[in-house]
Structure 1
Amino acid sequence: MGPSDRSSLDGAGPGAARVIRRKITPPLLPPSVVRRPRVESLLARLIENHRIVCAFASAGAGKTTAVLQAAAQLDRPLAWLSMDATDAAPGRLVVYLEAALAACDPAVVGVGTAALAAKIPHAEAAGLLAEAVEDVPLLLVIDDAERIAHAPEAVAVLHSVAKYLPDVARLVLISRQELPINLGGMGAVPWTGAVGEEDLAFTVDEAMQALDASGRTDIDPVEAIIETGGWVTGVMFEAWRSADHVIGSGGEADPLHGYLSLQILDQLDPAEREFLITTSVLPEVTPAAAEALGAQDATVLLHRLRSRRLPVSWEQDAVAMRCHPRFREYLVQLLARRGEQALRAVHLGNACLLAKEGHLEEAAEEFFTAGHPEGALPFVYPVLERVIERTDFPVAERWLRELAPVRDAAQPELVEAELMLALSREDYGAGIEVADALLRSGRREEVAGRSSRAASLMAWCYLHAGRIEDIRQLLAVADPSPDMDALRHSLRVADDRLADEFPGSGALTGGPLDALVLRADYDLGRLKSLMTIPESPWVVRAAEPWRIGALFATGHLDQAFELYQAVALSGDSGVWLSAVLGPRLMAEVGEADAAWSLLTEGRARIAASGSRMFALLGMLTEAELELILHDDPAAARRVLDRIREDDVSHSFAFVNEPALMLSGLAHLLEGDDRAARDDLAAAVKGMTEGHRRLHLPAAAVFLAEAEWRCGNEDAADAAADLALRSAEEQGSNHVLLDALARFPAVLSRRLDLERRADTPWHGLGRALMVRGVEVGDVLSAAVHGIEFGRRAVLVNGEEVKISLTKSFELLVFLANRSRQEATRQELLEALFDARADESAASYLRQATLRLRKILPDSLEVDRATGLVRLNGRMRVTTESAQLIHLLGQATSLRGADRLRTLLAAFEIADRGTYLSGMRSPWIDERRLYLARLVRDGRLEAAELAFAEGHLKQAGRLAAEVLRQDPFRETAWRLQMRVAHAVGDHDRIVAAYRDCERTLAEIGAEPSSATSQLLADLRP
């Protein structure tokens, strides 16, 4: 996007705007400033002992000076950021924060800007930036923070920085007003310290020293303190005196302004006054900057002003001046009184200066302030693109609105910006309006021919409207490019003829059009590629919805749900994820109410997006929920009829084909087999010819059932084979198994044709049995191994005796392996400690023969390879596998359900020692592994019980953890929290002392977190 030579300055990350040096440079203190050891020490102490220190006080209270003096006492790298009103744009604030931090820690370069490019929300990007600081004990100071107090998103950025800066770093906020940042305690270091008006106020001695240093021995410091309350600026510049007799003097109602008018400006000659007022828009006044604003004899005037007693600071080694904030505010007010024309002229000069220095974003703001948007046109596009990339959408919209009267409506770069803004906001209706406005003016194809990016973005919007012919017209005139390749690839899910006419490879480029490639890969069923996290930060973010979809489609529900929750909590879930996939995911994990709620909320988001495509996909989801949650095929068909009646549904193969599939399923459930076969045959034909495999395994299973019911046995077998092949191509059996669970007879009939006992169909049969689905007599026996407390084998629920211990061990060893098989050498190593002598081999043969005698046909031996496996016609399970399954299942649950599942797992473990009395290398290893899993699970259950208010249960679980692992400090802290919750303060101390004694045995001591908890809980 945009020019490839974007440069950065002063620590800004790659692709970021050039950052004005003075924003990240701490102001210099004038040599005459009076040191205040009391305030310096107070601030230094607060900074060392607290992660955040707030200096909230009125203008002129000496906040910045005090912080600078305190920072000079500390052995910490100083990162500084001075805020301006324009920094309220949260994306811009992240860029500036990165530049400030990079001055002390080069490791943060590019972190924030890359996160913004990946469309990560501003606050989250700021958090990643703060975390990147890691172990650097820097001091970050945000000066003039009140500039963003009115901007909640910018405040959220600062809150995120405050939250995620490491414990070794410190943050100081300097502001004229308190900021609405939630500074609740967290972390090992105390969270917040603060200084205010009373802390910063002059004492009499400090006022005396300051007045003496400035030559004002005529002022009584006691009187000054009494009249001003110790206000630093008031004492130094006598505003309190003017309050008696200067109100209204010099035309000023504000006493301080009256003082500045009579006692400061009136003492200067006209040229000096004019110079100060004209240059007041500049935070830092240099000769070159002043001359750019039209000031004459700037160098001479600056030298003359340096000899005056003014509320300004000077660079030591350069002719550069910074006015005191209150003084500058007054000068800006005087400048505004000259009238709009004069004010705009000064802002225009400043805009030209900023543009010349390469600060294009700030220059653009000044051009717009000056009422001169045409001045921004030569360079605004790359800046505007950056603004959109970091999702500062209100800024981008304002700029485009102000540029509208002076730009060429068909200027490709700005058309691109308008379209990118619309797509970033998922406002496809707005994007279509941009394209249609060009169409009405007869210039759409002209723009598409000049910019393939604009052509691809317009086509993307048209795709959401189902306007295939408009897409064809744009493709015909656009030059080849990676963007166009992505667009062409996406057409494979919509229209086969158009995709054949304009083929695309679908290669990822790291740009925004990659979202189209990923969307197409998902609907084509290329799920393996979506499971791999791409390298580009932008693609990582764009890939998240489709990765969640791929995890869902491949049966990784826990991971899909966890990632979905993380994206949803970030507030950037997107329309498809929240309105289409979200309801299906919630239905799958058993949250029916949440599924319908998301579907209802999603309708509003879809309507706001202006996407006909999303509207149709939302109806598909609704039809699916009617079948899954309500088992109501009639209601599903009513929804599907609405899709069929929509005049653009035929434009989307990836909508039309799943709709036919669901319609066929509804007919099957209602017993209308011929109607089901017709719909399903059409769906499968389209999916197969278009290589759209996402739903093909399910559609083919449903077709196999329909064909069999209609008496077409060969066609039914062919459809079943197609279902298996498409699942293999997809790389997952999950969709196939879901369909077979609905119609297990498809599997049973297919197994009747198999002559071997271990085919992929048998594997599917075992998988269905694990789900509790009956598939007939083809899987003969269910065998279950009892491993905890006692050793036994259950066959179809009846206990059988296995007299030879090694036979039992052989069974459970094979049953607990992923493929339930092992080589002869692996068995000797596991069961006989790698002995390869004749005695061990003979014992293994005896164990095998005894097991076969008790469980006929239980084992298969491949004599050529020496591979021993459990018969695929048996379903063999074990207690330990059940335990691991329950612990894994708990990770996908929440609250009380998660606790219940964990407790069910512990019921198994608590039956006794795993394979008690048996010793083999694999048993010892598995025993330790299971013990660790259970121990970790108990600690998690203890925390859950505490959160649910089950305090006794939490205490018992924590005690059991400590019995097995007395050095688990987290469990000691939980014991302390339980004691506090029941009001037993003695137990709090006792638990801490027990922890202390236990850790002392290994030469350790309680961590700072445990010690802090003791301090917090003690009455």
Structure 2
Amino acid sequence: MASRIIRRKIVPPPIPGSAVARPRLEAQLTRLIQRNRIVCVYATAGAGKTTAVAQTSRRIGRPTCWLSVDGTEAATGRLLSYLEAALAVRVPSLAGLTRRALTAGLAHTEVAGLLADSLGDRELLLVLDNVECLAGAREALAVIGAFLEYTPPSIRTVLVSRQELDFLTSRVSRVAWLPVLGEQDLAFTAEEAAIALARSDFPGVDPERAVAVTGGWVTGVLFEAWRSADHASGLGGEADPLHGYLATHILAQLSEEERRFLVFTALLDEVTPARAEALGVVDAASRMHGLRQKRLPAAWDGLALRCHPRFREYLLACATRLDATTQRALRVAHARLLAREKHFEEAVEEFLRAGELGEALPVAEQVVDTVMERADFAVAKRWLEQLAPVRREKHIRLTGAELMLAISEENYRLGVQIADRLAAAGRRDEVAASSSKLAAMMAWCYLHAGRLDDIRAVLAVGRSGADLDAMRYCMTLLDDAPERRTAGALSGGPLDALVMRVHYYRGDLTRLLDPPVLPWAIRATESWRLGALLAMGHVDEAAELYRTICAERDPGVWLYSLFSVELQRQLGEPDHAWRALLKGRERLRASGAVMLELLSYVEEAALELRFNRDTASARVALERVQSHPVGRQYAFIAEQAATWLGLALLLDGDDQAAARCLRQATASMQRGQRILSLPAAAIYLAEAEWRTGNEDDSDRATDLALAAAEQQGSNHLLLDALTSFPLVLSRRLDAEPDADSPWHELGRALMARGVQPAAPLATTIQLTEFGRVAIQVNGREVRPRIKKSYELIAYLATRRQREATKDELVEALFDGRHDDSTAAYLRQALRKLREVLPEDSVRAEGNRIRLAEHVVVGSDSGRLQCLVSQAAGLRGEDRLTALSSALSIASGEYLPEFQSPWVEQRREELAVLCTDSRCEAAETAFATGDFRRAHALAEEVLATDPFRESMWRLKMRVADAVGDADRVMATYRACEDALRQLGAEPAPSTRRLRDDLRR
């Protein structure tokens, strides 16, 4: 709900009843507004700017939003709140957007742009009045400039100011020029002056002379300054001509008591008897009654008096000439009034101006959270500095603000000092229990400082909430507690950055690339999106994002000190990478972030190994990490350090030590589900295991690396590691039966990087064998002219060594017919096969025919057997998925139209394998509760093998599971009928099942 002060700022000022209609001026201003996004109205005080704009806004036919600025909006968070309130009058959906965006940590200029963008295609007129009040407030003007830059074309904005706003021409880049309505446009014509003077009961005044003398200055014409013989600059002791006029021609007509009343109440934007008496004015109602009869530049609303802004400005200047004691008493009284009216921020400012710190303190405690939520950090910091002499640890909200300020400035050392100060005073637990956010922020500071026991102590007593949940989730980077391994959606708060960094180090990279649901969460995720882009190999996109972030704001300590180093490394810029590392480390040390400083040494080791192959220097850097308690206790740091140490040991030839180190690292990563570095660590481990003679363990390590890369959604980190040890890939390729395996894809990607695996990858052959027969070479189908060529390559693909003697081929392909015709046919089949394959792919060496070493053959049947074999090691849904994938391959007859003895034998073997696999899949589906699928699979088995009694029993169990007793017996009788054809009857186990299910 908007306060009275906000409501007054966002309501267009009333047009005085004596105001003159000015069709000429309104038409001119209307044309400017209709044709231009931004219109400026520049003129001196008293020129009628506000009245002219207010009159035109009624005529223009657009919904109007109005904001009158008075200088308090120099605090940019407050300015944004007022701007949102003004716009929400016409666009209610904007309400709350500013608070959420600021809470998320967006820069104030970004929030201004977000506000503008959220207006959509609405046709609104926005008036910003009295903008000259912000002339010296650079940040506030930047916010207005950002808002204007991003307003849609349908929005029209009028800026009313006593001075030109130079910032606009540089900020609002989409505007070629800014139309201005100026002093001459606003000046009265003789005709307008005549009407105005007539309405002011001065019919005898010559309007032409009035205009000539005053230059058409509206205030001068209406208040007759031009008629005074002594009208001049400095009149009444004032340097300003308007002030001189007000002193001589307005205040001079009043009694001493009336003048004193106006000066004493100048602090009030609206004067009522009650509010005047609250300032200590005696007999306020009587004084106001007398003033109502006087001709003043003011408006009356019932009993309330509102002086014209320029008149009030003059009265405030007069108030500064009162003695110091009186001024202080007025300000204290005004502050107390504002506090009673719940205008707490204004009250704090007045108390501070009066030097009344004791009274400012409790009011500041009530409102400092609002100031911090608005990200008006400069305001909060000033309050804390001024209130320092009277503030104590019991003032928890102010301490909380101090803590949030420290974190907003990434001063973790100061944050720790604040938390320690609370602990020493015995109030840390109280603060943590009072606020999830404050508890999380204390823990966050302790996290950076490496104070693990203090983190746990704060988390143990902290108030439940999204912020504390985020911090608990962050603890999964430090240890393996399973209860904290999941985190909810982003809350839109500043600790979203904490959640995102956990996603990053846990290797949940694709999640970081998803656009935030909430627009104000963008800033919190940008740094970590950049990190994900680097980890996934999108270096150009990461570089562009880095440039954008740095152009708009300070990039933050994590991005500046760590990700920028990785970016330069991947760009191949060693000098820039080292420079970024050293500059970033200076900032890290200043922040007190021990954790980040240790990560910086991990980065240093990576640079030494990647650019220089300097294992000695790398191990020195890593020793600093591993000798530090944080480097040992923070699992995600220890794992990264161990990964690079393992690489250094491998490069030094210390293979046993490398294997031990990397086994521990990969095991820790798996336990804690921190898989960012797992692809690299597993590849290094595969090399170490191979060198130490553990070939099976080496294969398992490569499987682990590939699985981690698949989970990350990118092969980039895996390829980076393979670049150092391409033999890991070569050895794996030798064992792969499928030419289109993921390892072959990695081989091609590695070749694209200019790294050649030891095993050539020039020829990959894939055989389609079920339903039809086809040969693909390097992804392109080829067609030998002789049908027997298909059978020849298919036979060789089934052989373990991918070779056969000519006698074996004659026996298999030609039913053992050894004659000249058969030999000629075999030679012809071989020649036609060679014609469609790359040169030297099939070799005839003496009596043997074989595939060359650089040829990898994959086949449907080979992939089927591989999947069935993998399924044997799985359970539940995973096993069912693997079996289903295998069965989907056998979508037709094996090598249709071929009738050779080996084909018939192979066809039968695969049919039995498929039937057995289908039975296993049916049993697995039943075990997982998928009864419909279990029944369907059993039916498929029995359609080809009606004597498979286990499937009849499974169908009976499915019927019982779904409560169909009749179908249980019907299935048993069908089993009896099928077996009767063999002269057999159901087995005892089948009969027992029938009896058990009937009970």
Range class of TM-score, shorter chain: 0.7 to 0.9
The partner residue of 2:420 within 433, 436, 449 is 436
Q: What does residue range 904-919 of structure 1 map to in structure 2 within 5 Å?
A: none
Q: What does residue range 100-119 of structure 1 map to in structure 2 within 5 Å?
A: 100-119=86-105
Report the equivalent of 2:631: 649
Q: Please give the alpha-carbon distance, in whole angstroms, between the structure 1 residues aligned to 2:287 and 2:419.
A: 55
Q: Which moved more, 1:390-399 or 1:436-445?
A: 436-445
Report the equivalent of 2:681: 699
**Are the counterparts in 1 of residues 765 and 857 from structure 2 also a CA contact under 8 Å?**
no
The partner residue of 1:367 within 351, 376, 389 is 351
Letter in 1 for 2:152: P
Residues 1:245 and 1:126: Cα distance change in structure 2 (over 3 Å): closer
Q: Please give the alpha-carbon distance, in whole angstroms, between the structure 2 residues aligned to 1:480 and 1:256.
A: 60
The partner residue of 1:161 within 142, 147, 150 is 147
- 1:329 Cα deviation (Å)? 1.4
- 1:100 Cα deviation (Å)? 0.8
Q: Please give the alpha-carbon distance, in whole angstroms, between the structure 2 residues aligned to 1:248 and 1:538.
A: 53
Q: Please give the alpha-carbon distance, in whole angstroms, between the structure 2 residues aligned to 1:252 and 1:354.
A: 31
CA deviations 1:587-645 (Å, max 9, x no partner) are 32445565455434433432442212222222322332343345544444443344445
Report the equivalent of 1:824: none
Report the equivalent of 1:661: 643
Report the equivalent of 1:329: 313
Q: Please give the alpha-carbon distance, in whole angstroms, between the structure 1 residues aligned to 2:430 and 2:589.
A: 31
Report the equivalent of 2:566: 584
- 1:415 Cα deviation (Å)? 2.1
Q: Please give the alpha-carbon distance, in whole angstroms, between the structure 1 residues aligned to 2:748 and 2:24.
A: 77
Residues 1:162 and 1:325: Cα distance change in structure 2 (over 3 Å): same
Q: Please give the alpha-carbon distance, in whole angstroms, between the structure 2 residues aligned to 1:67 and 1:521.
A: 53
CA deviations 1:782-828 (Å, max 9, x no partner) are 799xxxxxxxx998999999999xxxxxxxxxxxxxxxxxxxxxxxx
Secondary structure at 1:408 match in 2: coil
Report the equivalent of 1:96: 82
Q: What does residue range 634-783 of structure 1 map to in structure 2 within 5 Å?
A: 634-644=616-626, 648-777=630-759, 779-781=761-763
Structure whose alpha-carbon radius of gyration is higher: 2
CA deviations 1:176-222 (Å, max 9, x no partner) are 11223233698998752102223223344444443343234565555
Q: Which moved more, 1:461-470 or 1:649-658?
A: 649-658
Secondary structure at 1:9 match in 2: coil
Q: Please give the alpha-carbon distance, in whole angstroms, between the structure 2 residues aligned to 1:742 and 1:437.
A: 50
Secondary structure at 2:730 match in 1: helix
Residues 1:116 and 1:851: Cα distance change in structure 2 (over 3 Å): farther
Q: Please give the alpha-carbon distance, in whole angstroms, between the structure 2 residues aligned to 1:87 and 1:850.
A: 85
**Are the counterparts in 2 of residues 626 and 636 from structure 1 also a CA contact under 8 Å?**
yes
**Are the counterparts in 2 of residues 373 and 406 from structure 1 also a CA contact under 8 Å?**
yes
Secondary structure at 2:368 match in 1: helix
Letter in 2 for 1:386: T
Q: What does residue range 451-850 of structure 1 map to in structure 2 within 5 Å?
A: 451-478=435-462, 480-495=464-479, 506-508=487-489, 510=491, 511-536=493-518, 539-557=521-539, 559-590=541-572, 595-644=577-626, 648-777=630-759, 779-781=761-763
Report the equivalent of 1:9: 2
Q: Please give the alpha-carbon distance, in whole angstroms, between the structure 2 residues aligned to 1:230 and 1:217.
A: 17
Letter in 2 for 1:9: A
Letter in 2 for 1:371: G
- 1:300 Cα deviation (Å)? 4.8
Secondary structure at 1:174 match in 2: strand
Q: Please give the alpha-carbon distance, in whole angstroms, between the structure 1 residues aligned to 2:214 and 2:617.
A: 77
Report the equivalent of 1:935: none
Percent identity for Structure 1 against Structure 2 = 51
**Are the counterparts in 2 of residues 30 and 314 from structure 1 also a CA contact under 8 Å?**
no
- 1:357 Cα deviation (Å)? 4.0
Residues 1:34 and 1:670: Cα distance change in structure 2 (over 3 Å): same
- 1:695 Cα deviation (Å)? 0.5
Residues 1:197 and 1:740: Cα distance change in structure 2 (over 3 Å): same
Matched, 1:46 2:32: yes
Report the equivalent of 1:391: 375
Runs of 4 or more above 6 Å deviation:
184-190, 245-249, 793-804, 849-853, 856-859, 866-869
- 1:466 Cα deviation (Å)? 0.9
Residues 1:226 and 1:408: Cα distance change in structure 2 (over 3 Å): same
CA deviations 1:424-469 (Å, max 9, x no partner) are 2212122112122224444434544555543332221111111223
CA deviations 1:567-605 (Å, max 9, x no partner) are 333315321122211231243244556545543443343
Residues 1:533 and 1:133: Cα distance change in structure 2 (over 3 Å): closer
**Are the counterparts in 2 of residues 239 and 255 from structure 1 also a CA contact under 8 Å?**
no
**Are the counterparts in 2 of residues 525 and 693 from structure 1 also a CA contact under 8 Å?**
yes
Secondary structure at 1:777 match in 2: coil
Report the equivalent of 1:257: 243
Letter in 1 for 2:639: E
- 1:255 Cα deviation (Å)? 4.3
Residues 1:190 and 1:515: Cα distance change in structure 2 (over 3 Å): closer
Residues 1:253 and 1:90: Cα distance change in structure 2 (over 3 Å): closer
Report the equivalent of 2:43: 57
TM-score, structure 2 as length reference: 0.72
CA deviations 1:300-341 (Å, max 9, x no partner) are 5444433321112334xx443322222111111222222333
Q: Please give the alpha-carbon distance, in whole angstroms, between the structure 1 residues aligned to 2:287 and 2:755.
A: 91
CA deviations 1:367-402 (Å, max 9, x no partner) are 333433444544544632232233221111012223
- 1:44 Cα deviation (Å)? 1.7
Report the equivalent of 1:138: 124
Letter in 1 for 2:665: A
- 1:860 Cα deviation (Å)? 4.5
Q: Please give the alpha-carbon distance, in whole angstroms, between the structure 1 residues aligned to 2:586 and 2:438.
A: 28
- 1:280 Cα deviation (Å)? 1.2
Equivalenced residues, count: 799
**Are the counterparts in 2 of residues 159 and 182 from structure 1 also a CA contact under 8 Å?**
yes
**Are the counterparts in 2 of residues 515 and 539 from structure 1 also a CA contact under 8 Å?**
no
Report the equivalent of 1:411: 395
The partner residue of 2:405 within 381, 398, 421 is 421
Letter in 1 for 2:311: F
Secondary structure at 1:776 match in 2: coil
Q: Please give the alpha-carbon distance, in whole angstroms, between the structure 1 residues aligned to 2:833 and 2:110.
A: 59
Residues 1:194 and 1:110: Cα distance change in structure 2 (over 3 Å): same
**Are the counterparts in 1 of residues 11 and 67 from structure 2 also a CA contact under 8 Å?**
yes
**Are the counterparts in 2 of residues 49 and 190 from structure 1 also a CA contact under 8 Å?**
no
Letter in 1 for 2:118: A
- Segments of 5+ residues of structure 2 without an aligned counterpart are 767-774, 787-830, 839-855, 865-886, 893-999
Q: Please give the alpha-carbon distance, in whole angstroms, between the structure 1 residues aligned to 2:511 and 2:778.
A: 42
The partner residue of 2:323 within 339, 342, 354 is 339
Q: Please give the alpha-carbon distance, in whole angstroms, between the structure 1 residues aligned to 2:523 and 2:393.
A: 32
Residues 1:528 and 1:50: Cα distance change in structure 2 (over 3 Å): closer
- 1:296 Cα deviation (Å)? 4.5
**Are the counterparts in 2 of residues 98 and 112 from structure 1 also a CA contact under 8 Å?**
yes
Q: What does residue range 862-1011 of structure 1 map to in structure 2 within 5 Å?
A: 865=888
